[in-house]
């Protein structure tokens, strides 16, 4: 299994602690700089790290879209107020997932699950997570950046797929599109 050594985890923990300490001092720029270091140190190993950097820096299609999704759901002013705390909380959950995986890289379902759990803590609807619909359908929402280590054998084993409901409140039967239909890009070369 691809992953991190204890020495690498210690470095990642240092970045998260620095981000948390900066937030405690109302140093938003310092917190975001530490998160940039946290994810930048992982881009060679994880596709999600590149996506997270785009969100933190509000750059690229992925980052701008993700930030707009949340801003549109809760209002721009509210989002600007909570954005640094939200980003630190998500990165902390990411690190905790690495630790609980004994250094293993978080999978797409694990990433889905911590977004599903953390968004409500900030009064953000889970549907504001840019990957919500694709996660519920078992599709890759990373725009093709997930590495093989981040892919799950059962992409529907996540909180979005298990809790996705229609207007009637009934759970929708959601089946993953087959690769024969041309909707599954998991095996596409990059």
> Is residue 122 predicted with pLDDT exceeding 50?
yes
Cross-strand pairs, 171 = 165
What pLDDT, in 10s, does the model give residues 53-92? 999 999 999 999 999 999 999 999 999 999 999 999 999 9
Name every residue whose Cβ is closer than 8 Å to that of residue 167 and which is 6 or more positions away in sequence: none
Cα distances (angstroms) measured from residue 46 to each of 59, 150, 181: 18, 7, 28
């Amino acid at each position: 299994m691809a992953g991190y050594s204890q020495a690498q985890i210690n470095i990642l923990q240092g970045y998260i602690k620095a981000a948390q300490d900066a937030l405690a001092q109302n140093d938003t720029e310092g917190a975001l700089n530490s998160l940039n270091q946290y994810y930048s140190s992982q881009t060679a190993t994880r596709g999600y790290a590149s996506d997270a950097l785009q969100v933190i820096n509000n750059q690229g299609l992925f980052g701008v879209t993700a930030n707009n999704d949340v801003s549109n759901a809760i209002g721009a002013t509210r989002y600007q107020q909570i954005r640094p705390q939200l980003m630190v909380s998500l990165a902390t959950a990411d690190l905790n997932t690495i630790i609980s995986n004994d250094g293993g890289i978080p999978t797409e379902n694990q990433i889905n699950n911590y977004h599903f759990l953390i968004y409500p803590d900030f009064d953000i609807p889970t549907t504001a997570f840019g990957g919500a619909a694709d996660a519920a359908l078992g599709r890759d929402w990373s725009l093709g950046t997930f590495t093989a280590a981040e892919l799950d054998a059962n992409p529907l084993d996540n909180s979005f797929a298990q809790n996705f409901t229609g207007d009637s409140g009934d759970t929708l039967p959601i089946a993953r599109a087959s690769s024969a239909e041309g909707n599954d890009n998991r095996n596409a070369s990059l």
